[in-house]
Amino acid sequence: MPSQRIDVHTHAMPEEAMAAVAARGFRPTGGYKISVRWTPQAALAYMDRHDIAAQIVSMPLAFAGSADDPEFGTRVSRMINEGHAELIAEHPDRFGAFATLPADGPDEALTELGYALDELRLDGVVLTSNMAGHYFGDPSLEPVLAELARREVPVFVHPTDCPHIDVLGFGRPSSIVEFPFDTARTITNALYTGAFQRTTGLRLILAHCGGVLPTLGWRIGEHTIMGRGPHDADIDPAHVAEVLRGLYYETALAGSRNSLLPTLEVTTADHILFGTDWPAAPEPTVEHNIANLISFDGFTEDELRGVERDNALRLFPRFA
């Protein structure tokens, strides 16, 4: 049987960008110890081992300039996006890419967004759960979210360290607990500030089945009638439920009943996508997660096929 799965959560960084980032001593968030060096050949071999027809690669890091190099964020983001475009040109049927945006401000982000989508023809955009401490609903992110809503392109929301990780992380990898919470933080703030009322075309894909967001879904909605903050929008539980139902949720490190059952309480099976988080997630963990996913008794056979492939085709029809 030919490979069928479409993996919407996998990471890659072109060599030129990796060298530029390493030269500044940058280290990835999350506490990952990645033992596999990503190359197109390694990725293709991995995909073939796991029945994956195509991967939508991303590099979910918000790079910004500094006093000694104010153009660093813009320059590295351009390197990543052009490298991904070259990868797609070499293997158009096997790879897609979410564009990386610089964290220097809305003007720089919008410029790169336009170039990545209109000139490079990348498949969507990746945003981190917070951009240098700014969460969805913050006015500084409003122009970018508005443009993404206008274009109705897929947006992959990947967690990153919160600004207070040194206190909240207890010295442990933030990918264990803080990553799932930061996804919930940014969507909750977007809900309460009315961002989803103003940007109705957003097509967000939440990493790891939204982290703890589905579990907190009812509670988030109920608090809209228990007491509203001074800057909160006029929303109600029905709005919260409608937004959560319309989001997409991917299964990397979230293919077990612990994650899938709460997710199916806030949305339907046709809004769940397949993801692996490779190579950040080691291959044995990916295998365990896939085994959990395919043995989950909450999907019909048709629904599981949708999770693994068909649901993604509605967002990325060029892979049909």
**Has residue 34 got a pLDDT over 90?**
no
Distance CA 238, CA 89 (A): 44
Residue-wise pLDDT for 210-233, tens only, equals: 999 999 999 999 999 887 777 789
Give the pLDDT band (50/70/90) at residue 2.
Answer: very low
Low-confidence winner among 58-67, 120-129, 181-190, 263-272 (lowest mean pLDDT)? 58-67
Which residue has 């809900």 as its token pair? 191
**Has residue 24 got a pLDDT over 80?**
no
What domains can you pick out in the chain, each with its CATH number? 5-319 (3.20.20.140)
Give the pLDDT band (50/70/90) at residue 168.
Answer: confident
pLDDT for position 250: 98
**Has residue 27 got a pLDDT over 70?**
no
**Has residue 200 got a pLDDT over 70?**
yes
pLDDT for position 229: 73
pLDDT for position 231: 73
**Has residue 146 got a pLDDT over 90?**
yes
Which pTM value belongs to this model? Answer: 0.95
pLDDT for position 19: 83
Written as six digits, the tokens of 26 are: 């940058």
First-to-last C-alpha distance (Å) of the chain: 16
**Has residue 1 got a pLDDT over 50?**
no
**Has residue 280 got a pLDDT over 50?**
yes
Specify which of 70-79, 166-175, 190-199 reaches the highest per-range mean pLDDT. Answer: 190-199
Q: Provide the CB-side half-sphere exposure for 248 (13 A, CA).
A: 25
Residue-wise pLDDT for 176-192, tens only, equals: 889 999 999 999 999 99
Low-confidence winner among 116-125, 131-140, 148-157, 243-252 (lowest mean pLDDT)? 131-140
pLDDT for position 67: 79
Average of per-residue pLDDT values in the chain: 92
Residues with Cβ within 8 Å of 94's Cβ and at least 6 positions away in sequence, in order, are: 44, 47, 53, 54, 55
Q: Give percent of the chain above pLDDT 70.
A: 95
Distance CA 254, CA 313 (A): 21
**Has residue 31 got a pLDDT over 60?**
no
